[in-house]
Amino acid sequence: MLEPELLAQTVGSGSYLPEDVQFLLRPVSIGLTDVLEKERLIQTRQKHYSEMISQEDAPSEAHMALFEQALRQNGLRMAADVQALALALNQYCQGPRIVLVSFVRAGLPLGVLLRRALSGLGREVQHYGISIVRDRGIDKVALEAIIAAHGAENIVFVDGWTGKGAICGEIMRSLGDDPRFPGKPRLVVLADPCGHAWLAASAEDWIIPSGILGATVSGLVSRSIWPADNGLHGCVVYDHLAPYDVTRSFIERLEAARAGVNVGPSTPWRDDQAQRLQRDALGVVQGLAERFGISNLNRIKPGIAEATRAVLRRVPDQVLVRDSGDADVQLLVHLTDRAGLQVQQVGDVLGPYRAVTVIRGVS
């Protein structure tokens, strides 16, 4: 068990059921930063993105309608992928327990679903939600508390998907030469178009239903906030979004769908598969950087989920899709229309990705 003193600092389980996840994030109060000003401060390196937060509004009726469409369209696929990942983890994790460490926020719904699936397979599972911040690292206070309570042998990191592989790289930098962990981090995701995860259900870039909402499908917490005192990372609890919260209902709907699936276990990428995926994805990102004169690759957000979130939370300049008629990019098209931007259909230029958002240069 984790130390009671540490648990007392946290936001608990947010709006998830207590048995589904324990957040190792402490509640913080932070002033809101306008999106355009936040972008300026990020790009001029005056502040790191993890030191600021902007208003998160309730999803509109049209946004929720597209979420429901995505759930109807791909809910069964997500449920089957969860089961396939759980079967694989049941095989690969041979110790007495499995410890799922989900990255807030995109990893949370998958982590909760994996916890339930593994429990259904008879495994003892602990599940925690912690922070990892690009360019700054993993929450070492949270991770060390987990290791002290459960050991490191069967820790599995969980995220929703990969874009360019930045989070995988951040795990590797954070853990360094720590002998308690393998050289290639045990990162599990649903979709891994860039080939950087250890275990993925597929390499396809597809509309993951939970990927098109924010706090309202992730326990009503914000993305994580970097601490000023080297303690636990923080978050804001979005009580104002409680009337729109679908966190628990989403899990129950996916659980109902999972009850009817019949799949085999996922398998980790072979080295040649991973290398091909990485090469193709990097080629796309570098090609777009050259095309738009971009030196900072952080301004390129590949993959449907990342492209969508960039339109919602950043200042987009270009939104590219492989096929504007693709049902999986309709929310992105809707949001782009609302923002007064034109979607460009560019076909196979996007390689493994079905959508990419390029962040506007702001100085």
Which pLDDT tens digit goes with each residue over 309-336?
899 888 899 999 999 999 999 889 988 9
Phi, then psi, of 255 in degrees rounded to 5: -65, -40
Is pLDDT at 86 greater than 80 in this prediction?
Answer: yes
Res 277: pLDDT = 97
Residue-range domains of the chain with CATH? 4-258 (3.40.50), 271-359 (3.30.1330.30)
CB atoms inside a 10 Å sphere around CB 96: 11
Question: Per residue in 202-239, pLDDT tens?
Answer: 999 999 999 989 999 999 999 999 998 889 999 999 99
Q: Determine the Cα–Cα distance for residues 85 and 182; give it in Å rounded to an integer.
A: 19
Is pLDDT at 51 greater than 70 in this prediction?
Answer: yes
| 95 band by pLDDT with thresholds 50, 70 and 90 | confident
Q: Determine the Cα–Cα distance for residues 174 and 169; give it in Å rounded to an integer.
A: 9
pLDDT, average across residues 335-351: 91
Is pLDDT at 185 greater than 90 in this prediction?
Answer: no
Question: Per residue in 298-311, pLDDT tens?
Answer: 999 999 999 998 99
Average pLDDT, the chain: 94
H helices within 50-139, ranges in order? 61-92, 108-120
Q: What's the pTM value of the predicted model, to 2 decimals? A: 0.95
Using alpha carbons only, what angle is made at residue 303 by residues 346 and 299, rounded to the nearest 5 degrees? 85
Angle between helices 247-258 and 61-92 (to 10 degrees): 50
